Amino acid sequence: MMLKTENKQAAKSPRIKSVWKQAGFVDESIPLGIDVKAEIRRMAKEKNAVIMAHYYVDGEIQDLADFVGDSLALAQQAAKTDADIIVMCGVHFMGETNKILCPDKKVLVPDLNATCSLAESCKADEFEKFVGEHPDYTVISYVNTTAATKAFTDVVVTSGNARQIVESFPQDEKIIFAPDQNLGGYINSITGRNMLLWNGACHVHERFSLEKILDLKKEHPNAKILVHPECKGPVVRVADKVGSTAALLKFAIADESQELIVATESGILHEMQKRCPEKTFIPAPPNDSTCACNECNYMKLITIEKLYNCLKYEWPEVKVDSEIAQKAIRPINRMLEISAKLKL
């Protein structure tokens, strides 16, 4: 009962310590003897909070979440939730997207340091200048961007709907695609477009080694190769299936292959193995010979302990400038509308 009272008091008047602000997360020890996972679920119910998790966070967090998905599914879920609090277990731009879609709700992220290399590669001021230099272009931005960058965008896409949204425009439409040059290049190759690409890339998907993937294929000749389109072109070209995280999961479930080599962030292997316990999933290795798998350093900053403290103290909270939010909501809503129309 003491813990429940303490939670209510924290929710009414949370004291944000300077050390937390410096750290970017609630840096408090958890009392011994507490069932942390049970407490997280209890607090979520008590506070009417929904816990959403991306496929790339640790498996134990995915198992605790109310909803697990890729960027498109998470945005769609946020837009329709009736929760008072959204806890986004993922990187910061996902929390921003949730806040823009749900301005009346409290949106929390367990660690403010969980940013995104793609989002960081496309600073809003630099992108504004770039867009200004190409006034006749339609601007398509990947969801992996900050709210400030989305404000200079006509429509947002994810890897799950990028092709369909690009193809919804006339073939001769002049298009800027940012920030992932690999995803943009892949979309160009399969649509016959010549989009102008921003020079950005994901630090995870850039690292996959074509040579090591081919070596794995020799060791497992019957294995199918699954590749995320943020990977470099040579890796994409050896794939049996190219798709978003959700699309790769769907393929893994439906395909008869018993062995699959997976070239995307290794967090998805948790859900793949849960859904297909009889199959063998092999993480494609990066160029770094010291690591057998490829993990997003930012996603792995989200831990059970930080999630517990985030819910308990209702901090860190995501804030988005109202003027930026008003501009960014338009391309996000346009994405959701097109996706709904195309039943994506």
pLDDT of residue 342: 86
Q: What is the rounded distance in angstroms from the CA atom of residue 113 to the CA atom of residue 276?
A: 33
- Burial label, 59 (beta-carbon count in 10 A; 0-12, 13-18, 19+): middle
Partner residues linked to 281 by β-bridges:
260
> Which parts of the chain sit beneath pLDDT 50?
1-11
Which amino acid makes up residue 309? N
pTM (whole model) above 0.85:
yes
Whose tokens are 């497992």? That residue is: 220
Q: What is the rounded distance in angstroms from the CA atom of residue 86 to the CA atom of residue 95?
A: 9
95 within 8 A of 121, measured Cβ to Cβ: no
Partner residues linked to 49 by β-bridges:
85
Instruction: Report all structural domains of the chain as residue ranges with CATH numbers, in order of start.
Output: 2-113+299-322 (3.40.50.10800), 118-201 (3.40.50.10800), 205-283 (3.40.50.10800)
pLDDT of residue 292: 57
On the CB side of 18, CA atoms within 13 Å amount to: 0
Per-residue DSSP letter, 85? E
- Helix residue spans in 276-318 (DSSP H): 304-313
| Strands 196-197 and 155-157, sheet pairing | unpaired
| Strands 106-108 and 138-142, sheet pairing | unpaired
Whose tokens are 């995803």? That residue is: 183
φ/ψ of residue 104, rounded to 5: -90, -5
pLDDT of residue 7: 44
Q: What is the rounded distance in angstroms from the CA atom of residue 296 to the CA atom of residue 292?
A: 13
Q: What is the rounded distance in angstroms from the CA atom of residue 99 to the CA atom of residue 107?
A: 6
Q: How many CB atoms lie within 10 A of CB 188?
A: 18
Q: What is the rounded distance in angstroms from the CA atom of residue 252 to the CA atom of residue 51?
A: 25
pLDDT of residue 2: 35
